[in-house]
């Protein structure tokens, strides 16, 4: 119990560091339209794991007046007609990467990976975007970043206006690099051009995380304060990864915080990004109802899990 008490302690939530990239107001090209109130996500089958069901149910509770579109392979064509012929030869991750960029480029809205826990409504997105007149809101991972002028943008949460200049260029280059072309050829070309190290920074598995590399390719073609866009970015380690950062990226202390710690908006971030192994492990605990009343999992995910437990 001593270990559990120590590992479940929550540090006060910091105000995330914010980065603004692009020219925005300097060029007079301001984006006054709000980001549409639609949440997009995708799962690779119609059958959703319990954790994913609970996450999405939580989004619906927090956003009764938003559209929430949960796509699977059979629904993509309802929203996107110009689907590249080579898309299906790629792994699920790369297929989903193209889908998220294509949806945001065409419709705008907020893309959220299906295993993200929201603890409060997404009103903060527009509150962050509007003062900057930004066309894109997202997160950057400081741990991946070497070049401070070009923070490494994450892909699990993307918010944009329709036709965002940044998303449009990101989508076009990603399609050329990973779908119409070959990822390894693209990475080899970057090496031959002497650009590879600058773009990769500390991105792990570049052939898998191609969407991150391409975002850097788009950004670094312009001086940081002269890109034809306005990006508002938050530091992930002080927001969506705040609980992992407190836990030194170790799973047992993280689950102590998720399943046991009691908290509030001063301790819990607005969203919690679960990585692949974390999601599957949480599935085990959630299916058995092994979490403390008043914990983050209880308050954010329990409605669906309790219903599912009653059916078992």
Comparing CA positions, the residue from 270, 202, 274, 206 lying closest to residue 234 is: 270
In this prediction, residue 158 has a pLDDT band, given cuts at 50, 70 and 90, of very high
Say if residue 233's pLDDT is above 90: yes
* Each residue's pLDDT tens digit, 81-122: 989 988 999 999 999 999 999 999 999 999 999 999 999 999
- Per-residue pLDDT averaged across 69-81, rounded? 96
Angstrom distance (rounded) from CA 237 to CA 256 = 18
Comparing CA positions, the residue from 234, 15, 227 lying closest to residue 125 is: 234
- Per-residue pLDDT averaged across 148-165, rounded? 97
- Per-residue pLDDT averaged across 149-160, rounded? 98
Site of tokens 């600058």 = 198
Q: Which CATH architecture has domain 2-311?
A: Alpha-Beta Complex (3.90)
Q: Which residues pair with 140 in a beta bridge?
A: 153, 235
Angstrom distance (rounded) from CA 225 to CA 4 = 46
Q: What is the pLDDT of residue 7?
A: 76
**Mean pLDDT, the chain, integer:** 92
What does pTM read for this prediction?
A: 0.93
Q: What angle, rounded to 10 degrees, do the helices at 210-219 and 92-107 form? A: 40
Angstrom distance (rounded) from CA 57 to CA 26 = 41
Domain parsing of the chain, residue ranges: 2-311
In this prediction, residue 311 has a pLDDT band, given cuts at 50, 70 and 90, of very low
Is residue 258 a contact partner of residue 265, using CB atoms and an 8 Å limit?
no
Q: What is the pLDDT of residue 29?
A: 60
Say if residue 28's pLDDT is above 70: no
Q: What is the pLDDT of residue 305?
A: 45
Pairing of strands 271-273, 136-140: unpaired
Say if residue 2's pLDDT is above 90: no
Q: What is the pLDDT of residue 224?
A: 81
Is residue 126 a contact partner of residue 34, using CB atoms and an 8 Å limit?
yes
Is residue 289 a contact partner of residue 305, using CB atoms and an 8 Å limit?
yes
Phi-psi domain of 284 (left: phi exceeds 0; alpha: psi -120 through 50; beta: other): alpha
Angstrom distance (rounded) from CA 153 to CA 141 = 7
* Each residue's pLDDT tens digit, 122-145: 999 999 999 999 999 999 999 999
* Each residue's pLDDT tens digit, 249-303: 999 999 999 999 998 888 999 999 999 899 999 999 999 999 999 999 999 997 5
Burial of 85 (0-12, 13-18, 19+ CB in 10 A): exposed
Site of tokens 């954010």 = 300
How many C-alpha atoms does 178 have within 13 Å on its Cβ side?
A: 28
């Amino acid at each position: 119990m001593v270990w559990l008490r120590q590992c479940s302690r929550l540090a006060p939530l910091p105000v995330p560091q914010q980065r603004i990239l692009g020219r925005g107001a300097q060029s007079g090209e301001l984006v006054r339209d709000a980001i549409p109130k639609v949440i997009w996500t995708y799962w690779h089958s119609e059958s959703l794991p319990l954790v994913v069901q609970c996450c999405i149910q939580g989004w619906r509770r927090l956003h009764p007046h938003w559209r929430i579109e949960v796509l699977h392979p059979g629904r993509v064509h309802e929203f996107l007609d110009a689907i590249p012929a080579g898309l299906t030869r790629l792994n699920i991750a790369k297929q989903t990467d193209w889908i998220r960029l294509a949806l945001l480029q065409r419709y705008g809205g907020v893309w959220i990976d299906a295993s993200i826990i929201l603890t409060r409504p997404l009103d903060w997105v527009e509150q962050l975007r509007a003062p900057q007149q930004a066309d894109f809101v997202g997160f950057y991972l400081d741990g991946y970043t070497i070049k401070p002028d070009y923070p490494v943008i994450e892909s699990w949460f993307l918010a944009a206006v329709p036709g965002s200049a940044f998303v449009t260029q990101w989508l076009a280059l990603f399609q050329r690099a990973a779908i119409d072309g070959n990822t390894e050829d693209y990475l080899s070309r970057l090496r031959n051009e002497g650009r590879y190290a600058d773009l990769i920074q500390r991105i792990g598995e570049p052939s898998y995380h191609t969407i991150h590399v391409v975002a850097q390719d788009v950004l670094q073609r312009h001086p940081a304060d002269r890109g034809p866009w306005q990006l508002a970015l938050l530091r992930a380690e002080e927001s969506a990864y705040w609980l992992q950062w407190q836990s030194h990226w170790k799973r047992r202390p993280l689950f102590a915080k998720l399943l046991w710690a009691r908290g509030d908006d001063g301790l819990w971030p607005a969203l919690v990004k679960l990585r692949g192994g974390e999601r599957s492990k949480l599935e085990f605990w959630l299916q058995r109802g092994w979490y403390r009343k008043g914990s983050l999992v209880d308050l954010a995910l329990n409605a669906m899990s309790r219903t599912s437990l009653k059916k078992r």
